[in-house]
Structure 1
Amino acid sequence: MKKLSVLFAAVVMLFSVGMKAQKVASMDVAGVLSLMPEKKKADEQLDAYSKAKQAEMQKEAQPYQAIAQKYQEEAPTQTAEVNKKREAELQKMQSELQTKAAAVQKDVADKTDATYAPIEAKFNAAVDKVAKANGWDFIFDANSPSLIYKAGPDATALVKKELGL
């Protein structure tokens, strides 16, 4: 047993000597991004774009809703064959609306990606510059649920300064 503990201690010492000490910092990513004027402007533009697309979809859904209501009211007085045709027509219209809704969601996602890309690039460049200037190997998001280590220096103020915030 004593030999095993000595061997274990030797292995631990070898690993600790062989490992380079990592310099780690944490920062409030959401806090920094919320202060960037470009992000605020992009959020407003994307919100307006999303609302316009939603209004467009609602406008396109109105004829479907009107026809569905009409068919539902008239169904008891119609024959089974007529009701079946109307049901098929409504299903076709619903399918078209779903296709359009998927296209709208894709448009909004593409617009979001394109709008945030330059903001992310600017933010990442500032983080890279601050990390290199201070010799940090890692900077973790202080708000991340998978935060491993937060006792290091906080880079938030330096990144804000680099961005002029």
Structure 2
Amino acid sequence: MRKILTLVIIATLTLGYSSLNAQNYKFGHINSQELLNAMPDKDSAEAKIKKYAESLQEQIEQLQVEFNKKYQDYLQKRNTFTDAIREMKEKELSDMQQRAQEYQQVAEQDYQRFQAETMKPVIDKADAAIKKVAKENGFTYIFDTSSGVLLYFSDKSIDITPLVKKELGIKE
């Protein structure tokens, strides 16, 4: 009986202590997409990304124009070609089209890599500011409301977006 009473007291004290600790947590939230959109660094990064995409698109269009020109030339002269020449020209066109498709796939991968590399400093800067604000203000957790995964947050959760914007020097 004494052991049971001791266990009940320990359990009660543990639960009481746990509930006291739970009350010490400080929760915050931020819309990281809104923050990134407000950052001037994002605009310059997006301008670089757009310029890079346009240069890739220009190269793809040049390949397409070259292919179309050779294809039109082939169509106009195909009846004058011998079977061997016609087969060689068709192989050349097929190879050219395949190279253009491969180039387009590589260009898409390069674009994604360039986009990630260009946006990384902006994202890192925002992340550092969020962490600094959270630490300075004693937050235990910061949730991102822009991800669409957060199903609920209480009005006790504090929106730190204005604090982070201030840390980054962004005027409201």
Above 0.5 in TM-score? yes
Distance in 1 between residues matched to 2:87 and 2:140, nearest whole Å: 67
Distance in 2 between residues matched to 1:95 and 1:104, nearest whole Å: 14
Q: 1:15 to 1:56 in 2, by over 3 A?
A: farther
Partner of 1:57: helix, strand, or coil? Answer: helix
Show CA shifts across 1:57-88 (max 9, x none): 21122111112233345556656655433322
Match of 2:134 in 1: 131
Match of 2:101 in 1: 98
Match of 1:35 in 2: 38
Q: Does residue 71 of structure 1 match 2:74?
A: yes
Match of 2:52 in 1: 49
Show CA shifts across 1:88-119 (max 9, x none): 21111112112222332232222222211211
Give the letter for the 2:98 counterpart.
S
Give the letter for the 2:169 counterpart.
G
Give the letter for the 2:138 counterpart.
G
User: Contact (CA 8 Å) 1:130, 1:159: kept in 2 or not?
Assistant: yes
Partner of 1:143: helix, strand, or coil? Answer: helix
Aligned length: 154
Distance in 2 between residues matched to 1:144 and 1:89, nearest whole Å: 48
Match of 1:157 in 2: 162
Distance in 2 between residues matched to 1:90 and 1:159, nearest whole Å: 56
Q: 1:15 to 1:89 in 2, by over 3 A?
A: farther
User: Contact (CA 8 Å) 1:25, 1:150: kept in 2 or not?
Assistant: no
Match of 1:5 in 2: none
Q: Does residue 84 of structure 1 match 2:68?
A: no
Identity score, percent: 30
**TM-score normalised to structure 1 length:** 0.78
User: Contact (CA 8 Å) 1:26, 1:142: kept in 2 or not?
Assistant: yes
Show CA shifts across 1:3-46 (max 9, x none): xxxxxxxx9xx779647534322111111111111111111111
Compare CA radii of gyration and give the structure with the larger one.
2
Alpha-carbon RMSD:
2.7
* 5+ long unaligned stretches in structure 1: 1-10
